[in-house]
Amino acid sequence: MTTLRWGILGASNFAANFMGPAIHAARGAELTALATSTANKAAPFEAFAPGLRVHDSYDALLADDQVDAVYIPLPNHLHVDWSLKALAAGKHVLCEKPMTLRADQFDALIAARDASGLLVAEAFMIVHHPQFVRAKELIAEGAIGQLRHVDAVFSYFNADQGNIRNQATAGGGGLPDIGVYTFGSVRYVTGQEPLSVPFAHIDYENGVDTFVQMAAKFLDFTYAAVISMRLFNRQEIVFHGDQGVLRVTCPFNAGVFDQAELCLESKVHSRVIERFPGVNHYVLQVEAFGASVRDGVPYACPLEFSKGTQVMMDMVFEAGGGPEG
């Protein structure tokens, strides 16, 4: 197996605690380089990746011919520009969500991908987790009959105004941060796209959304969600059919928030629970990315899929009005 050599643009805490170790642990992957202008921020990475080359600028890492792919965990408003720069430098790209802040920004990324022949994707790790693969199978095979309604919720409390999630200029807000999960997960499991967003209530603070309650209409089912950065931690998706209910517990931070589980209640199965202990979806994401680069294996989350999620977020923002709306 050819090893894919990775570099990381920026020494974020998330990269140090989750994605860096995942790249290091993944089969067929090696973390070889990091770009940070603050030398001491490299220490957590060097602890698990001895011999790591540390560059003092992002451009220097992109010029490193011993890097095949880059992972980009930069603030949201920098994702598109640095993804395009990495592609121009001949690197494959895995970029944190949301990859863009508007759906039309995906067009330049798709064009650059097609022109370069390189893989570029949003880091939407949950589609690589067996919890979601199984949920998709259960819905497709009619385990709950005809799907009629979906409820989704994702919340956490973060009122720190120094955090980039609370800064409008950095592309902050609850929808950009976690709306991608509540929307993208349901699109992935059902294979359907929203037809309309008839209702969206959005609370804003200093130009960023902090609470969203919304409703959408899909072809075969209705959808309701709550997304918030100002509520106690909670995450769950419930798929409600005419013959049963499928609950996806801990759907977004498996192994951190709680253990990933599926709970199926139906006329056929009174109550069946499937558990997925010890699964690291970040490692699976890196391995799937490598398999796609090396062997052409179709990637579960291509740019076209991620654009569809951003389309839905754009619809919600439009339905809810702006900070003064």
Instruction: Please check whether residues 72 and 210 belong to one and the same domain.
Output: no
Task: List 222's β-bridge partners, or say none.
Answer: 149, 217
Percent of the chain at pLDDT > 70 equals 99
Mean pLDDT estimate for the chain: 96
Active site residues: 97
Q: Report the alpha-carbon distance of residue 30 to residue 7 in Å, rounded.
A: 9
Q: Tell me the H-state helices in 93-241.
A: 106-116, 130-140, 174, 180-190
Residue 294 lies in a domain: no
Each residue of 165-181: b (16+ CB within 10 Å) or e?
A: bbbeebbbbbbbbbbbb
8 A C-beta contact, residue 82 and residue 58: yes
Residue 303 lies in a domain: no
8 A C-beta contact, residue 190 and residue 147: yes
Sign of the torsion angle spanned by Cα atoms 136, 141, 142, 147: positive
Give how many domains the chain has, as a whole number.
2
Residue 18 lies in a domain: yes
Question: pTM of this prediction?
Answer: 0.95
| The pLDDT of residue 325 | 44
Q: Report the alpha-carbon distance of residue 285 to residue 291 in Å, rounded.
A: 10
Q: Report the alpha-carbon distance of residue 282 to residue 124 in Å, rounded.
A: 9
113-139 per-position pLDDT tens digit: 999 999 999 999 999 999 999 999 999
Show which of 124, 158, 191 is a domain's final residue: 124
| The pLDDT of residue 125 | 97
Q: Report the alpha-carbon distance of residue 232 to residue 197 in Å, rounded.
A: 26
Show which of 81, 100, 124 is a domain's final residue: 124
If you average pLDDT over residues 81-108, what whole number do you get? 98
Show which of 69, 90, 124 is a domain's final residue: 124
CATH number of the domain to which 114 belongs? 3.40.50.720
Domain span at residue 99? 4-124
Neighbours of 115 (CB within 10 A): 10
Instruction: Please check whether residues 44 and 13 belong to one and the same domain.
Output: yes
253-296 per-position pLDDT tens digit: 988 888 899 999 998 768 999 999 999 999 999 999 999 999 99
Instruction: Please check whether residues 277 and 314 belong to one and the same domain.
Output: yes
Instruction: Please check whether residues 180 and 31 belong to one and the same domain.
Output: no
